[in-house]
């Protein structure tokens, strides 16, 4: 690829195109831009710029012949598909007061999209709306989208930077480009084939204002040559977003006299083509984009492992109803960081439980409830060896298949005199003695969503009154996010059920609009007289003033757990345990996304409810506008007891 490669990176951001003027010799245009210039594709007009349907009708007596450049035969179908993005005529204005221009615009738009679809182009670049009002433009595009097969429509949106980054939508002289995009996509019903091509000129907005685009369906960044150098001084998140979020790069404009300082020496070598002909004038800029791309840090091992899971919706586990498969156990067991933290917590608990002078005479009873295939049993015995404490372990596991593996492990390691395997549900087992320490790994992405409270409450009867639970507490967190891809994936099912389901997902193309806030907390052992695990929480989120308006598609959920003392484990972004991959975030969608304007707060309600056979969540937004209460009575999503 022209932009080079980085270890383990499979993002599409390596592809770079060039915006061109109209050229009736398309094969030469491709040869010059791709073979000579090194670009991957061209963004090229499909129609003669002077073409107007009203003029053709007058001159041709109403035949309506289309003066396209050449024919579809000038390139092979694969060349059209792989190397050409159609550029819809920029003069088009479907919201013009001039009726002739408006009618011409609609006719031309439909003709060009039809021609592009005939050529099997993967995408077409639509011109930017000409003002705040874009209703007729959006209506026409929405009509086209209803009959479009696989082609994407990229709406060109200038990335506007105001003087003070204040996105006051009531101001007459300021147009927030996000507001224009939002109005357009709402009119088009969030169609999944409508995306954004952000037109980046010579400046960037604030980090918060730029950040709200991270969760939008941005497919391309059109970078003008005179603004390329700003990426050297841009905040790291701007570069990361452009180069790691499957965004195609399109270079636009004419060569300027001064290349950005610190580009690459090789740029100077492309003033002439390798075949001796004149080189592409923007080739040095392509080399500079490659330099910006390659200077970024390689993806860490964890990120490379998670590439295939990015923004992929998964149903949460049902650990009580279903027995885990070997592949699931294996994935979780590879997370060494998690078990290192557990071992640290068990070490501290053993040292607190048994003084040095009693180390050789006191045996600590430790029960691993939900032992799986034995990783916590191993961590417990390693902690005992590290601290010099004596241990008697009960490994309680309800999955009979995992119990087979446990027996094999105990025999292999020679633990027969230390470890007793119990094939039973922890809630129904009658223990022969009380435990000093109770260890479990029942946490879900939202902390309590795999029924850790119910399981540990049931197991607490065989923990001594002064016994220790690891984990000792855990708290769930939520934060509002823009997540166009996740929303469209849920929407594609065309039912309420999927909008009322919480999904486990490695969130990537999202904008986190406000810091996360705590929701529900559970503590173990639970000595409270009120044993109910039902909960209710009302939260209010404020987004920074310089962000501007933003769309809330749902909520990302996390957890943070205290294992014991100061040893913690979690995925809440501000305190997340580094290099741990056992848990992805959880995503609670909204049936109708909420547009949040500057100065307004988002009021959210979350409930944890339970019945005789199931536990479920309900959630709702009440401000700035009210949403339905999602998942009432657990009608769509629940966890079985």
Is residue 187 within 8 Å of 144, Cβ to Cβ? no
Is residue 16 within 8 Å of 61, Cβ to Cβ? no
φ/ψ of residue 203, rounded to 5: -150, 160
Measured distance CA(202)–CA(160) in Å, rounded: 10
Q: SS3 of 9, please?
A: coil
DSSP summary character for residue 253:
S
320: closest CA among 370, 390, 366, 245?
370
Place of tokens 């014991």: 564
Please state whether beta strands 614-623 and 601-610 pair in parallel, antiparallel, or not at all (unpaired).
antiparallel
Measured distance CA(112)–CA(118) in Å, rounded: 10
Is there a binding annotation on residue 306? no
φ/ψ of residue 370, rounded to 5: 85, 60
The reply to whether 441 belongs to the active site is yes
Is there a binding annotation on residue 426? yes
The reply to whether 450 belongs to the active site is yes
Q: SS3 of 149, please?
A: coil
Query: Per the residue annotation, which of 19, 106, 112, 441 is the catalytic one?
Result: 441
Measured distance CA(96)–CA(105) in Å, rounded: 9
Q: SS3 of 423, please?
A: strand
Measured distance CA(300)–CA(578) in Å, rounded: 11
Measured distance CA(448)–CA(451) in Å, rounded: 5
Measured distance CA(597)–CA(169) in Å, rounded: 8
Is there a binding annotation on residue 425? yes
124: closest CA among 143, 142, 146, 109?
109
Is there a binding annotation on residue 296? no
Measured distance CA(210)–CA(2) in Å, rounded: 27
Q: Which alpha helices (DSSP H) does 354-438 contain, by range?
A: 375-387, 400-413
Query: Per the residue annotation, which of 179, 450, 572, 618 is the catalytic one?
Result: 450
Is there a binding annotation on residue 338? yes
Q: Which two tokens stand for residue 184?
A: 């357009």
Quick one: 7 exposed, middle or buried, by C-beta within 10 A (0-12, 13-18, 19+)? exposed
Enumerate the known binding-site residues for S-adenosyl-L-methionine. Answer: 329, 338-339, 397, 425-426
Enumerate the known binding-site residues. Answer: 329, 338-339, 397, 425-426
Active site residue ranges: 441, 450
């Amino acid at each position: 690829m022209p932009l080079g490669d980085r270890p383990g990176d499979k993002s599409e951001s390596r592809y770079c195109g060039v915006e061109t003027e109209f050229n009736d010799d398309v094969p030469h245009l491709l040869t010059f831009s791709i073979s000579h210039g090194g670009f991957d594709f061209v963004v090229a007009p499909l129609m003669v710029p002077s073409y107007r349907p009203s003029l053709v009708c007058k001159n041709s007596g109403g035949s309506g012949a289309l003066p396209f450049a050449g024919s579809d035969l000038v390139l092979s179908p694969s060349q059209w598909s792989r190397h050409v993005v159609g550029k819809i005529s920029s003069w088009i204005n479907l919201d013009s007061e001039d009726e002739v221009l408006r009618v011409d615009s609609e006719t031309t738009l439909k003709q060009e999209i039809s021609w592009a679809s005939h050529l099997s182009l993967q995408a077409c670049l639509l011109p930017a709306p000409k003002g705040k009002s874009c209703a007729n433009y959006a209506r026409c595009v929405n009509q086209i989208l209803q009959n479009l097969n696989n082609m994407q429509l990229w709406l060109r949106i200038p990335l506007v930077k105001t003087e003070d980054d204040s996105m006051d939508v009531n101001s007459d002289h300021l147009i927030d480009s996000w507001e224009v995009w939002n109005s357009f996509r709402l009119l088009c019903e969030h169609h999944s084939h409508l995306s954004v091509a952000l037109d980046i000129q010579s400046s960037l907005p604030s980090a918060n204002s730029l950040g709200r685009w991270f969760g939008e369906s941005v497919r391309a960044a059109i970078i003008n040559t005179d603004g390329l150098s700003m990426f050297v001084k841009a905040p790291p998140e701007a570069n990361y977003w452009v180069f790691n979020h499957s965004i195609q790069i399109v270079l636009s404009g004419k060569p300027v006299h001064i290349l950005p300082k610190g580009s690459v020496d090789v740029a100077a070598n492309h003033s002439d083509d390798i075949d001796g002909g004149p080189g592409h004038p923007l080739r040095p800029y392509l080399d500079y984009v490659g330099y910006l791309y390659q200077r970024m840090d390689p993806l860490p091992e964890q990120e490379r492992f998670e590439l295939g899971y990015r923004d992929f919706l998964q149903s949460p586990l049902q650990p009580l109803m279903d027995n885990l498969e070997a592949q699931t156990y294996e994935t979780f067991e590879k997370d060494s960081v998690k078990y290192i933290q557990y071992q640290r917590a068990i070490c501290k608990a053993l040292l607190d439980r048994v003084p040095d002078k009693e180390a050789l005479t006191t045996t600590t009873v430790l029960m691993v409830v939900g032992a799986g295939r034995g990783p916590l049993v191993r961590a417990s015995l390693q902690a005992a060896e590290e601290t010099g404490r004596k241990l008697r372990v009960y490994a309680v596991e309800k999955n009979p298949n995992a119990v087979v593996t446990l027996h094999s492990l105990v025999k292999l390691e020679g633990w027969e005199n230390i470890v007793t395997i119990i094939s039973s549900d922890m809630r129904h087992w009658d223990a022969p003695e009380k435990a000093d320490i109770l260890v479990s790994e029942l946490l879900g992405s939202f902390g309590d969503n795999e029924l850790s409270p119910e399981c540990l409450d049931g197991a607490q009867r065989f923990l001594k009154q002064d016994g220790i639970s690891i984990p000792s507490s855990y708290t769930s967190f939520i934060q509002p996010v823009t997540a166009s891809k996740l929303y469209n994936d849920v929407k594609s099912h065309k039912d309420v059920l999927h909008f009322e389901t919480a999904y486990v997902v490695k969130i990537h193309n999202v904008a986190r609009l406000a810091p996360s806030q705590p929701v529900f907390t559970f503590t173990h052992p639970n000595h409270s007289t009120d044993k109910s695990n039902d909960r209710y929480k009302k939260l209010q989120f404020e987004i920074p003033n310089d962000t501007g308006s933003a769309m809330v598609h749902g909520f990302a959920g996390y957890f943070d757990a205290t294992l014991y003392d100061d040893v913690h484990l979690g995925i809440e972004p501000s305190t997340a345990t580094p290099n741990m991959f056992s848990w992805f975030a959880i995503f609670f969608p909204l049936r109708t996304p909420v547009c949040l304007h500057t100065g307004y707060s988002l009021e959210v309600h979350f409930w944890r409810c339970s019945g005789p056979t199931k536990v479920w969540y309900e959630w709702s937004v009440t401000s700035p506008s009210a949403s339905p209460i999602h998942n009432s009575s657990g009608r769509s999503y629940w966890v079985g007891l």
